[in-house]
Structure 1
Amino acid sequence: MSLEEFKNRNVGTQNYRMLDLEPTPESGWGRFKRVVRRSVQLELFTGLKVTFREMIKALFMGEMHTIKYPFEKLPIAPRYRAIHEMKRLLESGHYRCIGCGLCEKICIANCIRIDTRYDENQRKEVSEYTLNFGRCIFCGYCAEVCPELAIVHGGRYEVASEQRAEYALFEDMLTPLDQLANQKEYPGFGAVSPDADEKIKKTPLAY
């Protein structure tokens, strides 16, 4: 299922049929008679027939209504706030973070820690950057306030781990050098989507 199919799905176009349900029996004898009557009418096998019919469609006719997770995943919105990503400079491959500390100051969950130092050229660089995903509430303030667009929200949402230390690795959030050419650029956290004009309803008034 593509992202457009996922967004444009409409359950209102399906054909529904109203069932003529009998009133619920009040006494125990009435409930017993209903069980006996339904057993004689083989309603149990009617439900099994529907189950086997859908199973055959899924196995042999390709009409699968579920996905094979984790091999297949449902698409998510482009601006979904999932696990953070640290971006690199496309020219040099160095990470964009300048160590200003704004993300650490604005973090309301107090989960970001930054340590900086000066290199041999007396330029400030980040010596240690940790982000504790066990405390993060994914509010997006760190990505919104970053002046260099060094930290953004990516699309990786699986955060299960056996050790808490694996929640705070800077190298896991940083773009690998071999995938630098495929790094997706973001115009900013609060930027509008490219198709925003098509989504806006035109006013009927003439100005």
Structure 2
Amino acid sequence: MSLEKLKDRNISMGDYINVLENDYPKTPWEQFKQVSKRSVKLELFGGLKIVWKMMTGALFKNEMHTIQYPIEKAPLGPRYRAVHKLLGLLESGENRCIGCGLCEKICIADCIRMDTKIDENSRKEVMEYTINMGRCIFCGYCAEVCPELAIVHGGRYENASEQRAHFVLKEDLLTPLDKLAQQKEYPGFGAVSPDADEKIKKTPLSY
């Protein structure tokens, strides 16, 4: 394509199609004639026929096109970034987060707060971890930068609340202990390897 054609904004080259070729009625008499003409052609009953067909199909033929939310939910894409989740270790149930603070530093919305301390074993322990969902823009940087895959984006998107304080509860982000076996693993450094069961039988710290 030449530069002249690239700069030409008339991309249709004059091939526009006018859908409504008739002029709109301008006087009340022309409007009355238009309504009368359409009534004689039975266009109203043609529209009612389509509505009746859709209604009977939904009521009697189980051809419902709508989703009965919240009982039914539409499937989400694999790259959908919903409410965050903090994953746990399968062998101990402890939180995977090591308190490195990378997610807090990279957050462009400044909505992640982390409070850590050194425990009796001289290891960093996460005391408080909050994400202000009212400020979060769900960019996904925190999940991408996490070296242990401790924070990921889950599939829960219903995060409406009447109080702002409900948007920063860590308990809502943690994976329950009774659902650790059902948590979805993501590929990357820190994820569970395919032979994790054999490694756990040998020693919990083998990897």
CA distance in 1, matches of 2:188, 2:23: 58
Provide the residue aligned with 2:52 in structure 1.
52
Matching residue of 2:164: 164
- 8 Å Cα contact 1:116/1:126 also seen in 2: yes
Q: CA deviation at 1:74?
A: 1.1
Amino acid at match of 1:114: M
Deviation for aligned residue 1:70: 1.1
1:21 deviation in Å? 6.6
Superposition pairs for residues 82-101 of structure 1, below 5 Å? Answer: 82-101=82-101
In the alignment, what sits opposite 2:23? 24
Residue number in structure 1 paired with 2:203: none
Whether contact under 8 Å (1:144, 1:188) holds in the other structure is no
Deviation of 1:31 (Å): 2.2
Matches within 5 A, 1:1-207: 23-28=22-27, 29-188=29-188
- CA-to-aligned-CA distance 1:74-111 (integer Å, 9 cap, x gap): 11111211110100001100010011101000101000
Amino acid at match of 1:78: P
Query: Partners of 1:156 and 1:70 in 2: how far apart?
Result: 12
C-alpha contact (below 8 Å) 1:85/1:174 kept by paired residues: yes
What stretches of structure 1 of length at least 5 have no aligned partner?
1-19, 190-207
Query: Alpha-carbon deviation of 1:26?
Result: 4.1
Residue 13 of structure 2 is matched in structure 1 by none
RMSD: 1.8
Q: Compute the TM-score of the two structures, normalised by the length of structure 2.
A: 0.77
Distance, in Å, in 2 between the alignment partners of 1:169 and 1:27 is: 61
For structure 2, the 5+ residue unaligned runs are 1-18, 190-207
The DSSP-based 3-state class of the residue aligned with 1:88 is coil
- Percent identical residues: 70
Q: When the two structures are aligned, how many residues end up with a matched partner?
A: 170
